[in-house]
Amino acid sequence: SLLVNYGAYRRSIAWDDVFTNSIAVSWPEDLLVDGEYVLDGEFSLAGAITIAADEVVRVKAGSQLHVDADVIFTIADGGQFIVEAGATVTFDIKSRIDVRGEWLIAQGVTIQSGSGVQFNIY
């Protein structure tokens, strides 16, 4: 995972305020479980990232994924993004998701969107 200091937003520079579940560029190997990248807990996409062909990313029930402002999240042809029942995915302002693969949303999932968000489904 990538350490990102959000202290400026909380008026703090304490190490405890650094959110350690920020992901950017590539999926961390420590999230790999039985061939899938499993997000269990609170996670943030802090930079552009792609689910490549033959990759599966799963957001577990009760977990939260936040796509930061201006971030482009891509699901490539052959990739899968699975969101389990009870999970929440939030897209911050001007973020974007490009879906060329599969985005599987279970019943009971919450999808939240800020202003200027783009959902491009091909």
pLDDT digits (tens), the chain, 122 positions: 455 544 444 444 444 444 568 887 789 999 999 999 999 999 999 999 999 999 999 999 999 999 999 999 999 999 999 999 999 999 999 999 999 999 999 999 999 999 999 999 99
From CA 122, how far away is CA 118, in angstroms rounded? 13
**Does some domain include residue 114?**
yes
**Does some domain include residue 45?**
yes
Count structural domains, the chain.
Answer: 1
**Does some domain include residue 21?**
no
**Does some domain include residue 65?**
yes
Which domain range does residue 37 map to? 27-121
**Does some domain include residue 2?**
no
Tokens of 95: 């973020």
Q: Which of 18-38 are b and which e, b meaning 16 or more Cβ less than 10 Å from the residue's Cβ?
A: ebebbbeeebeeebeeeeebb
**Does some domain include residue 5?**
no
**Does some domain include residue 18?**
no
**Does some domain include residue 87?**
yes
User: What is the CB neighbour count within 10 angstroms for residue 71?
Assistant: 20
